[in-house]
Every structure is written in C-alpha cells, then in structure tokens.
Amino acid sequence: MIISKQNLQVVHVTRVDSNIPALDNVHIAEDGSTIGTGGRMAVIVSPVRDDVKEKLDNILPESGKDESLTVSADTVRNLVKDLPADKQFKGLLEHCNIKRNPENDHECRVMMTDGKRRRNITGRLYRREYVPYKSLFKKAIDSGSKNESVRLVLNLKRLLLLLSTIEKVAPDTSGDNPVWVEFTKENYIIIRGINMISGQRTIGIMSPYTGTEGKWLEPDAWERSFTDENKQSVKHKKKVMHKKRPAIKRKYRLTIRKK
C-alpha cells in the first residue's frame, strides 16, 4: 500500500501514551487512511490520491490485495526520518510502499526510493485489534453538526505559538496540563492557564480569519464517509490495466538504476 510522509506524521500524537502498547502504533486502514491515537485525541489522514499513485507506479508498484496494518510507532518514526525531503519531483519521493511480510506476520516490509534505486527495510507490526476509531470520529463529527457548533478558521502557526507560550508560562510536571478554552459570541478564542507552583495565571486570546481566508472547508467524500451509515470507508476505483501504458510526463519521470 502506498503511504506518504504526511500519512506517517500521525505518529506524533502517540507519544503521550507510548507506555500503552495498544496506542503506541499507527494504523493503516484498507483504504490507505492512517490513524494515530493518544489520550483523549486522535488524528486521521486521508489516503494518497490515485493520480499520485499513477505517477509512482513505475518505481513503487503496488501488488496484492490491500489490507489494514497496524505498524509500531518506532517503525513509523524511523520511516519519517528515512524518507527524503523531495523538492525536485514535487514530493513524489516522500512515499513508500508498506505491506505485510508473507514470511512473518509480526513484520512488515517497506520499500522506498531516492529516484535512482530502491531500498527495502523491515518493520514491526502490532497484531491485536486496533481501537474502534471509526465510531470515535463518527461520534465527534455528528455531535458538531447536530448541535451547530461554532466554526472558526484560524492561522495554524499563530495558534501553535499561542499554545506553546501558555505552556511555558503554566507548565505542569504532573502531565495533566489543563487549559480552559472558551469560544465567545464575537468569535474570539480565550485560553486560560495557571502555573500550579507560583499560582500565576495567563490569558491568551485569538481572533479568527474573516473574509476570503475565513471561508469554511466543506467535507469531501472521504470525510463524509465517517458519518455515512451505509459506508464507513472510501474505496478507490481499481485501476484498469492497458497493454500499452500511457507515457508519464517528463517532469515526473524517475528511473531506477539496478546495480
């Protein structure tokens, strides 16, 4: 199954519960979505697009039936480091092909390329059933749409900076790190924290985007699948193989040199 470096980034949320074996993993669903879970949070990333898979077909060919895999967090973190930063081919090299090792059910085989030669590595799999993430996302998304939740569009980097600053002012060695978040009628976000040792408090505020930047991102078919009662995942259309493969555009063409 073709997975991108962006798919693998969900591993970062597993750090908070790395001592729990069932959560110290990244799950790859049958449709290619990847899921990472931690205490009271989860992140899911949609599958690699079909047009990208087409461009990768001559260097990272997919074979066999797609199946769900749960890969250890250590393996995924190593993959994130190993996948090269690729600007020359617009990110095409930041993909890998992950499949179960037919000789060992506790291992996966990962194929990647630098554009000239392929490299294969072995990783660990978690064999027990993964947490029921579909029902979790369905419950969360349904609760937002039914109750007409407040919708805001924010600058991600500024939000992260605000949160990291509050964390520096009000750290918590216990690991609980509570913050109190409020969404006002005027669409301000108010985040309050307290330093448990000094007793000092902090208040952070942030306003959302308005105008063109504040346009809401409507759900696509993949997102809607979590609330569709009859369809829990988006299946990609099987590629029709032709006797003669269409030529790949030159700017995307990669070659593999065999030793």
127 and 14 inside one domain: yes
167 and 238 inside one domain: no
DSSP letters of 153-219?
---HHHHHHHHHHHHHHS--TTS----EEEE-TTS-EEEEEE-TTT--EEEEEE----GGGG-----
pLDDT at res. 121: 93
* pLDDT band with cut points at 50, 70 and 90 for residue 17: confident
Report how many domains make up the chain.
Answer: 2
Task: Look up the domain containing 28 and give its range.
Answer: 2-134+219-252
* pLDDT band with cut points at 50, 70 and 90 for residue 251: very low
30 and 118 inside one domain: yes
* pLDDT band with cut points at 50, 70 and 90 for residue 58: confident
Q: Which two tokens stand for residue 77?
A: 């973190």
H-state helical runs in the chain = 5-8, 50-56, 73-82, 133-146, 156-169, 221-224
Residues contacting 259, CB < 8 A, separation 6+: 117
15 and 114 inside one domain: yes
Mean pLDDT (the chain, rounded): 86
Kindly give the pairing relationship between strand 2-4 and strand 118-124: unpaired
37 and 77 inside one domain: yes
124 and 61 inside one domain: yes
Flag whether 61 is in a domain: yes
165 and 183 inside one domain: yes
9 and 116 inside one domain: yes
Flag whether 144 is in a domain: no
201 and 234 inside one domain: no
Residue with tokens 């769900």: 68
236 and 112 inside one domain: yes
pLDDT at position 60 over 80 = yes
pLDDT at position 234 over 90 = no
Flag whether 225 is in a domain: yes
- The Cα 230–Cα 54 span in angstroms is 29
- 240 phi and psi, to 5 degrees? -85, 125
pLDDT at res. 208: 95
134-179 tens-digit pLDDT = 999 999 988 876 667 889 999 999 999 999 999 999 998 888 889 9
User: Residue 217 is which amino acid?
Assistant: L
- 141 phi and psi, to 5 degrees? -70, -40
C-alpha angle with apex 232: 146 to 57, nearest 5 degrees?
130
11 and 120 inside one domain: yes
16 and 83 inside one domain: yes
pLDDT at res. 148: 72
**What strands, in cross-sheet order, belong to the sheet with 118-124?**
2-4, 95-100, 107-113, 118-124
